[in-house]
């Protein structure tokens, strides 16, 4: 029976690549979308035209009750979640001087609280079955910081603290918990940055002199979800073209 992979924020550029990769490997892929997203049906239809029959459920990952209800529905209609990819995230970039409490809270709730909200209802099932994968998508800016991103950097760094602590708790139960920290990836969001800014400020920071590909991150997710990665847990794997090494 195919394992169930739940990818939050799966309709974004990186999330879509992860969904496609996991489906190609035989996983039963489920994703979430914001309750107000009117384009969800269009995305599902487009994916089906490409041969991918994904299931999608409305979920406010920043809200604990919504996450609980979403996972309960997935388990009831599809089956228990074997692989959870916490990929949902937003930005509210501005200097700390200009940042308000609303800007801070929005990013912390969506990027960090969501990791707790989505992992909580699936973790016990994973440990009970003796197999599971939790993969948290962080960012290079959670490792090195970034101007105008005190909220985002704090949330992304917090994700890995969560990873390390939970990894210790579930290691003997056949469940691994890992973090992936991508650098600048060629998603629609990054490609929306003015070309001049990309070429003059971002690309020069990357020793490989290019943006990463969503498929490259998806390949790393696939490895961490595999049986071959059973001895790898509590790690933060950087995939940033050499932009930040530690």
Question: Could you read off the pLDDT of 19-57 as tens digits, one per residue?
Answer: 999 999 999 999 999 998 889 999 999 999 999 999 999
Taking residues 51-69, report their average pLDDT. 97
Alpha-carbon distance 74 to 30, whole Å?
8
pLDDT digits (tens, 9 = 90+) for 126-169: 999 999 999 999 999 999 999 999 999 999 999 999 999 999 99
**Burial environment of residue 239 by CB neighbours within 10 A (0 to 12, 13 to 18, 19 or more):** middle
pTM reported for the whole predicted model: 0.96
Parallel/antiparallel/unpaired status of strands 28-33 and 132-137: unpaired
| CB of 237 closer than 8 Å to CB of 143 | no
**Cα dist from 156 to 32, 62, 180, whole Å:** 20, 15, 10
The two three-digit tokens of residue 40, written as one number: 């969800």
Q: Which of 10-14, 74-78, 231-235 has the lowest mean pLDDT?
A: 10-14
pLDDT at 191: 85
pLDDT at 189: 77
Among 197, 206, 179, which Cα is nearest to 85's? 179
Q: Which residues are catalytic?
A: 152
Domains along the sequence of the chain with CATH: 4-239 (3.40.50.720)
């Amino acid at each position: 029976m195919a394992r169930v992979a739940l990818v939050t924020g799966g309709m974004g550029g990186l999330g879509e690549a992860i969904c496609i990769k996991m489906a190609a490997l035989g996983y039963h892929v489920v994703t979430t979308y914001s309750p107000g997203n009117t384009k969800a049906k269009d995305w599902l239809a487009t994916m089906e035209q490409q041969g991918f029959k994904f299931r999608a459920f409305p979920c406010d990952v920043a809200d604990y009750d919504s996450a609980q209800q979403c996972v309960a529905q997935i388990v009831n209609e599809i089956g228990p979640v074997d692989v959870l990819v916490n990929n949902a995230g937003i930005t509210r970039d501005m200097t700390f001087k200009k940042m308000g409490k609303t800007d801070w809270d929005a990013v912390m709730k969506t990027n960090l609280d969501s990791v707790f909200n989505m992992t909580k209802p699936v973790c016990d099932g994973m440990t009970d079955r003796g197999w599971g994968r939790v993969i948290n998508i962080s960012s290079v800016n959670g490792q090195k910081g970034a101007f105008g991103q005190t909220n985002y950097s704090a949330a992304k760094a917090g994700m890995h603290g969560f990873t390390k602590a939970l990894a210790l708790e579930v290691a003997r139960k056949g469940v691994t918990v890992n973090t992936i920290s991508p650098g600048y990836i060629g998603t629609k969001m990054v490609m929306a940055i003015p070309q001049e800014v990309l070429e003059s400020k971002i690309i020069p920071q990357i020793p490989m002199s290019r943006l990463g590909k969503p498929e490259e991150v998806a390949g790393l997710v696939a490895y961490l979800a595999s049986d071959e990665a059973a001895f790898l847990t509590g790690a933060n794997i950087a995939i940033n073209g050499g932009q930040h090494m530690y």
